[in-house]
Structures are given as structure tokens and as C-alpha cells.
Amino acid sequence: MTPVIMILHGGLARTTLLYFLALAIWGWWRFARGENVDRSYWGALVIAEFLVLFQSFLGFYLWAIGLRPERPLHILYGILVILALPAAYAYTKGREERGEMLLYSVVTSITVALILRAMVTGG
């Protein structure tokens, strides 16, 4: 029998993947149009980080009750996803110029790949 938390963890993984994909596309679109990071994009990034934190909370709960991923590499991918946006923010020091828009577009695109890898290695 599959616990409800495991189903939520899988469903939220797909939601997070699609959300980061939308953020990446939106970021590249804004960069191509010569736009900077604005308040709406900041808000979307904050929501993305909360999604990732909630996802990892569910994953930690599953791990704590003995339901472990097929490969431990899954945990590494999860940690990298958690750290990606805060690391980008620390690097940019919160600036909102066009160069930062490029950086967030790259980071969200890489995060999409990391989420996909986490989904594959999690089983």
C-alpha cells in the first residue's frame, strides 16, 4: 500500500517541475525583451522556493518513516534544488538588472533538469 504522503510527494514533484519550467520560460522571455527582474518575478521565485521546501519536507518525512529513494543520489539532487535559488540570490546580492535576469533564467533552467533527475533517481 502506498502512503498518501508518497503520492503527494510525487504529485508535488510534477507540480514543481512545471512551475520551474514556467519560470525558466518566463525568465528567458523577459531577458530576450531586455527586461530586468521585477517584483512579480521575485514573488514567483519565492513561491518556487516554498514549493521546493515543502517538497523536501515531505521527502524527509518519507525518509524518516523508512521509505527511502531507490538511489541515494536522489537526496543530492534535492539538496541542489533547495540551494539553487538562494545561491543565485546571494551571488546577485538581490540586484535586479538584466544580467541578473539572465542568471535566474539559467538557474531555473538548470533546476528543471535537476528536478527531472531527482524524479528519475527517486523511483
- 86 and 49 Cβ atoms separated by less than 8 Å: yes
- 69 and 122 Cβ atoms separated by less than 8 Å: yes
Domain count, the chain: 1
pLDDT of residue 1: 52
CA 82 to chain centre: 7
Angle, CA 38 vertex, CA 32 and CA 41 arms, to 5°: 80
pLDDT of residue 98: 94
Sign of CA dihedral 77, 78, 80, 81: positive
Range of the domain at 19: 4-122
pLDDT of residue 9: 95
pLDDT of residue 17: 98
- Model-level pTM? 0.94
Picking from 52, 54, 58, 48, the residue whose alpha carbon sits closest to that of residue 77 is 52
- 20 and 50 Cβ atoms separated by less than 8 Å: no
pLDDT of residue 13: 96
pLDDT of residue 123: 76
pLDDT of residue 70: 87
Question: Three-class SS of residue 36?
Answer: coil
Tens of pLDDT along the chain (123 residues)? 578 999 999 999 999 999 999 999 999 999 999 999 999 999 999 999 999 999 999 999 999 999 999 899 999 999 999 999 999 999 999 999 999 999 999 999 999 999 999 999 987
- 78 and 14 Cβ atoms separated by less than 8 Å: no
